[in-house]
Amino acid sequence: MIYPTRSAVLLTAAGVLFSLVVAAVSPTNWLIGLTWPVAGLLLFGVDAMQGGRRVGARVELPPLLYVGETRDAIIRLGAFQGRSPKTVEVALSLPSQMTAEDDGRALIAVQEGGGSGRLPVTATRRGMARFDRLWLRWTGPLGLAWHQEEIALDAAVPVLPDIRPVHRHGAAIFQRNALQGLVAQLERGDGSDFDALTEFQQGMDKRAIDWKQSARHLKLHARQYRNERNNQIVFAIDSGRQMSEPIAGLPRVDRAVSAALLTAWVALKMGDRVALHSFDSRPRVASGLVSGAGAFTELERMAAEIDYSGEETNYTFALTTLAARLTRRSMVILFTEFTDLISVDFMVRAARRLVQTHLVLVVVLRDEELESIVEREPGDAGDVIRTITASDLLKERRVALTRLQHLGVHVIESDYDKVGEQLLHGYLDLKRRNLL
């Protein structure tokens, strides 16, 4: 695409004014007045022909970004055919998850064989950030003609909640537990495969005492069993309307993703297999089971695919589909939120079928807003109505969680800023108890 620059427009406007003046002063010589605009058009044409042509361009993006992080997108230009410009203006289309200074525009100096430039981009929201357009613009040697190219891109960057502080915390917990013997206890605990006979220590399960061997050695000895590794841990994240609502400025689904990734990292370190699923009105993301610490990067990429949804959650469809994919008993960790009795009934029915085969752990976040309304002293009639409504909602919530517990479902109701740590401890506790 070629179009005039501001200089060309001003030059043409001045030429038109010159022609009008000549025609007014000397009507018989009006043709002389056309020399300026005609010369301007000729110069524009020459500039357009001498402006060179782009050979190629590409954008190099970081492998992933965390919310709030700023990284460079590198734009590389190929060589020009014909006369190369000194500089090229670039503009990168920004997805909703990204911001950049000057709306993603930058100026790149062109050298022999092309050029490159850096465009700092900042991640503002979790998701898969897709870049689909790059625009290039440069002028000819006379500065009268703009040359513009539009390049279609197929590039994407996963944007994740910044779990690095939590990750470091999880690593510290894992290391501390390893030093204290917890990892060894998990591997050599209350499983079904006999591992060793050891002297009974305070805190051990008294049911593990081997009375025959104790009588023979005149000391209490206990049997230790090796817990099964390679357990299947499935993180099922509800991304429906309720989970997309914010709590303390961050959507619930983002907090669920952070907690799931933290626990998944520890689970992979413990030798378990991990899968990631998300759903709203229907299943959306299904990673399949992965194992090994190296698989964590793939889980992070899959987590970025979990989008925000305004649709109501369909527990029956989602959990039935999930159960059909599981070939053996698994620990299913379900992150969800509910505010009405109808959705609770559907969730309880789906959980009842799921818990018959699998170990189910439901994770919900405490609704601190409702709790604050109930605890607040009402000042007027409106406050009284809000207090009664909030109290009823909390009662329904407790009834729902109690119904789940009566089914054999394990429940974690956590503060929003502690959900990762509480889930990690819950996972380790269930594993220690060998409930899988």
Chain segment 371-396, per-residue pLDDT in tens: 777 777 777 777 778 788 778 778 88
Q: Which CATH architecture has domain 229-432?
A: 3-Layer(aba) Sandwich (3.40)
Question: Starting at the edge strand that comes first in sequence, how are the strands of the sheet with 57-60 ordered?
Answer: 57-60, 70-77, 115-123, 98-100
Residue 117 reports pLDDT greater than 80: yes
Least trusted range by pLDDT, from 184-193, 292-301, 427-436: 184-193
Give the chain's end-to-end CA distance (angstroms, integer): 64
Instruction: Answer yes or no: pTM beyond 0.85.
Output: no
Q: Which helix (H) or strand (E) holds 173?
A: helix 164-179
- Residue 3: pLDDT band with limits 50, 70, 90: confident
The residue with greater pLDDT, 238 or 142, is: 238
- Residue 189: pLDDT band with limits 50, 70, 90: very low
pLDDT given for residue 179 in this prediction: 42
Least trusted range by pLDDT, from 91-100, 153-162, 251-260, 388-397: 388-397
Residue at 47: amino acid letter: D
Residue 31 reports pLDDT greater than 50: yes
Mention every residue, 6+ apart, whose C-beta is less than 8 A from residue 129: 65, 95, 96, 97, 98, 123, 156, 157, 158, 159
- Across all residues in the chain, what is the average pLDDT? 82
Least trusted range by pLDDT, from 78-82, 86-90, 203-207, 218-222: 203-207
Closest of 327, 248, 245, 253 to residue 285, by C-alpha:
253
pLDDT given for residue 142 in this prediction: 85
How large is the angle between the packed helices 381-406 and 341-355, nearest 10 degrees? 10
Enumerate helices (H) and strands (E) in the chain, giving the number of each.
Answer: 13, 23
Name the superfamily (CATH) of residues 53-158.
Immunoglobulins (2.60.40.10)
pLDDT given for residue 218 in this prediction: 73
The mean pLDDT value for 335-364 works out to 90
Asked if 91 contacts 103 with a C-beta cutoff of 8 angstroms, the reply is: yes
